[in-house]
Amino acid sequence: MLVPVSRTLFTALLQNHKVLYQISRGMRLVQFQTPHLKGPHLGLEEKDGGGVIDLNAFDPSLPKTMREFLEQGETTLSVAKRALESKQPVLKRSEVTFLAPITQPDKVVCVGMNYVDHCKEQNVPVPTEPIIFSKFSSSIVGPYDDVVLPPESKEVDWEVELAFVIGKKGKHIKATDAMAHVAGFTVAHDVSARDWQMRRNGKQWLLGKTFDTFCPLGPALVTKDCVADPHNLKICCRVNGEVVQSSSTNQMVFKTEDLIAWVSQKEMKSSVRLKDWEPSSTGWCDTIILGTCKLCFLTSLC
């Protein structure tokens, strides 16, 4: 999709009609705005690709941000469940602009080289312990927002990822207890400036990963009861219709529970986001150009 502006940018689309969720088994929580409701507002997708239930209209006492919503735990989740059953009030999808399902998290924790097939593709050893890095929360944008190519970089490319969101804080969490701290899952797009990641800043990854708009998320935070097995999901990225990345979360070196146990050596507050980075066929040798259209999705979440 050509973007008619002079700036160098590309459009990162994470199209939820490609993500197979069953709303009857859980909830698809979203943050949104409309021309008359400046965001963020909290909502629920009725179903995959359906209308949006305005949670703040259903119960004006609910917080308007996902972070505050998750911090209140079962109290707010029970209200959302009642709203889902009521089916009112509903906004047409065409009326809604989706924001990232969660913004301004306490941390954005990322895991590098965490897929066996990606390690083989890059001809590097499979890690024996998680490789942790981070992104600035300011890099987070919505699922359909434009991603701006920074003039400082000539090598910007893609990586579709599974992200999970922490809803309950903790420290020194055991792997066997880890899923009790997970609120849900979403689709993440790890945009990277490879020249900055690999050849600048002493080869520290941070600056190459954290330019503005380099972390599209969403559209929905899918509650964990909707995800039958987070370690058996197809994960795919298409650029201008061509499949450029395809793998499965069954290739993860360190599973969700193990990553939470590892990272929680430092306190994990509500809304920490962990990303299971780098399935195979990431765009290490390709460069995004003006007008590129990208589609990132995960399937078989239910």
Q: Tell me what pLDDT residue 102 has.
A: 93
Residues 164 and 187: their CA atoms lie apart, in Å, by 9
Q: Do residues 302 and 22 touch, judged by C-beta distance below 8 A?
A: yes
pLDDT at residue 129 tops 50? yes
Do residue 66 and residue 136 come from a single domain? no
Do residue 74 and residue 135 come from a single domain? no
pLDDT at residue 291 tops 70? no
Confidence of residue 173 (pLDDT cuts 50, 70, 90): very high
Q: Tell me what pLDDT residue 260 has.
A: 95
Do residue 134 and residue 189 come from a single domain? yes
Q: At a CB cut-off of 8 Å and minimum separation 6, what does 2 contact?
A: 290, 291
Single-letter code of the amino acid located at 267: E
Where is pLDDT greater, at 18 or 55?
55
Block residue for tokens 């994960």: 235
Q: What is the pLDDT of residues 210-240, one digit of tens each?
A: 999 999 999 999 999 989 899 999 988 888 8
Do residue 159 and residue 64 come from a single domain? no
In a domain, 274, yes or no: no
Cis peptide before 89 (omega within 30 of 0): yes
| Two structure tokens written together for 241 | 């219709």
Residues 245 and 238: their CA atoms lie apart, in Å, by 7
Do residue 115 and residue 90 come from a single domain? no
pLDDT at residue 19 tops 90? no
Residue 39: CB atoms within 10 Å: 18
Q: Report the range of poorest mean pLDDT among 29-43, 170-184, 228-242.
A: 228-242
Confidence of residue 26 (pLDDT cuts 50, 70, 90): confident
CB-facing half-sphere around the CA of 207: CA atoms within 13 A:
12
Phi and psi for 79 in degrees, rounded to 5?
A: -65, -45
Q: Report the range of poorest mean pLDDT among 15-19, 34-38, 269-273.
A: 15-19
Where is pLDDT greater, at 279 or 65?
65
Report H helices in the chain.
Answer: 55-58, 66-71, 74-86, 116-122, 194-199, 206-209, 256-263
Single residue among 53, 69, 98 that ends a domain in this structure: 98
Single residue among 98, 127, 152 that ends a domain in this structure: 98
pLDDT at residue 22 tops 60? no
Do residue 90 and residue 180 come from a single domain? no
Block residue for tokens 């490609």: 18
Q: What is the pLDDT of residues 66-82, one digit of tens each?
A: 999 999 999 999 999 99
Measured between alpha carbons, how far is residue 178 from residues 63, 105, 256 in Å?
A: 26, 19, 8
Where is pLDDT greater, at 104 or 7?
104
Residue range of the domain that includes 89: 28-98
Q: Report the range of poorest mean pLDDT among 59-63, 194-198, 199-203, 204-208.
A: 199-203
CATH code at 122? 3.90.850.10
Q: Tell me what pLDDT residue 222 has.
A: 94
Report H helices in 136-244.
Answer: 194-199, 206-209
- How much is the average pLDDT of 200-206? 86
Residues 63 and 221: their CA atoms lie apart, in Å, by 16
| Two structure tokens written together for 60 | 């004006």
| Two structure tokens written together for 102 | 């969660």
Cis peptide before 151 (omega within 30 of 0): no
Share of the chain above pLDDT 90, in %: 60
Q: Tell me what pLDDT residue 33 has.
A: 96
Block residue for tokens 């705005």: 33
Share of the chain above pLDDT 70, in %: 82
Do residue 143 and residue 84 come from a single domain? no
Residues 283 and 194: their CA atoms lie apart, in Å, by 9
Q: Tell me what pLDDT residue 51 has.
A: 93
Confidence of residue 55 (pLDDT cuts 50, 70, 90): very high
Single residue among 77, 98, 119 that ends a domain in this structure: 98
Residues 73 and 168: their CA atoms lie apart, in Å, by 8
Do residue 113 and residue 93 come from a single domain? no
Do residue 125 and residue 227 come from a single domain? yes
Q: What is the pLDDT of residues 248-290, one digit of tens each?
A: 999 999 999 999 999 999 888 876 677 665 555 554 445 554 5
- How much is the average pLDDT of 9-29? 45
Greatest CA separation found in the chain?
A: 55
In a domain, 10, yes or no: no
Do residue 191 and residue 248 come from a single domain? yes
Where is pLDDT greater, at 271 or 169?
169
Q: Tell me what pLDDT residue 8 has.
A: 34
Do residue 83 and residue 174 come from a single domain? no
Q: Tell me what pLDDT residue 244 has.
A: 84
Q: Do residues 185 and 227 touch, judged by C-beta distance below 8 A?
A: yes
Total structural domains in the chain? 2
